[in-house]
Amino acid sequence: MIADQDIAVLKSAILRFVPLTAEEWDLLLPALAYHHLSKGEKWINEGQKEQRMGIVLSGNMRHYYTRDGAEKTTYFYFENHFVGSYISALTNKPSQLTIEALTDCRLLTFPYAHLQMLYEKAPRWERFGRLLAEYLAIGLEERMAGLLTMSPEERYPELLHGNKQKILERIPQHYIANYLGITPVSLSRIRKRLLEK
């Protein structure tokens, strides 16, 4: 039994993209499942075909790529964020990402295949799919452009933009340093220089 207030969180996140009638919304309900992750637990492992996506109800998570054992963090998730290896679900290929809980986390999830079925059933769900994919593409381009055109010192304020308080209070320094591709010591120096400005 999923709590009403948890369903309300997902509903409000979806309605931010697109209005749905009560009947359209109800089409998603049978597919919902509740997940609890413990701190440090991996929700999706690199190489795995993950077919569910979901929303973070509480807690925070990150995702990363791996190269020769070294992690390359490219995203932090907080409450109300959609989470999933969306590209793996789209392409039905193994995930290149690992998605890990940085704290105990509560998620509400549904199979990507159910969403695809909704695209067939209701044009408004298809609109949600278009807007979700566009939102994802915008975020991916911003991060790739950031990697190619900005120094760690420029990328740090960019990372904080919009989520400043949550990132500073809830994400351990070494993960922020990993996102920027620098050591925690270099991050301390950057923070000091930015405070002096």
Query: Would you tell me which residues interact with a second copy (CB under 8 A)?
Result: 65-67, 72, 74, 86-87, 90-91, 96, 119, 123, 126-127, 129-130, 133-134, 136-138, 140-141, 143-145, 147-150
Q: How far is the CB of 19 from a second copy (least distance, A)?
A: 14
Q: Based on the number of CB atoms within 10 Å of its own CB, is 162 exposed (0-12), middle (13-18) or buried (19 or more)?
A: exposed
Q: Which residue type, as a one-letter code, is found at position 188?
A: S
Kind of pairing, strands 33-37 and 105-111?
antiparallel
Q: What are the DSSP E strand ranges found in 14-147?
A: 33-37, 42-44, 52-58, 61-67, 70-77, 82-83, 98-101, 105-111
Q: How far is the CB of 88 from a second copy (least distance, A)?
A: 9
| Nearest residue (CB) to a second copy, 62 versus 106 | 62
| Nearest residue (CB) to a second copy, 40 versus 123 | 123
| Nearest residue (CB) to a second copy, 25 versus 112 | 112
Here the tokens at position 40 are 């440090």
| Nearest residue (CB) to a second copy, 113 versus 144 | 144
| Nearest residue (CB) to a second copy, 22 versus 148 | 148
Q: How far is the CB of 58 from a second copy (least distance, A)?
A: 27
Here the tokens at position 31 are 């597919």
Q: At what angle do helices 112-121 and 123-149 cross, to 10 degrees?
A: 130
Q: How far is the CB of 96 from a second copy (least distance, A)?
A: 5
Q: How far is the CB of 3 from a second copy (least distance, A)?
A: 31
Q: Based on the number of CB atoms within 10 Å of its own CB, is 80 exposed (0-12), middle (13-18) or buried (19 or more)?
A: middle
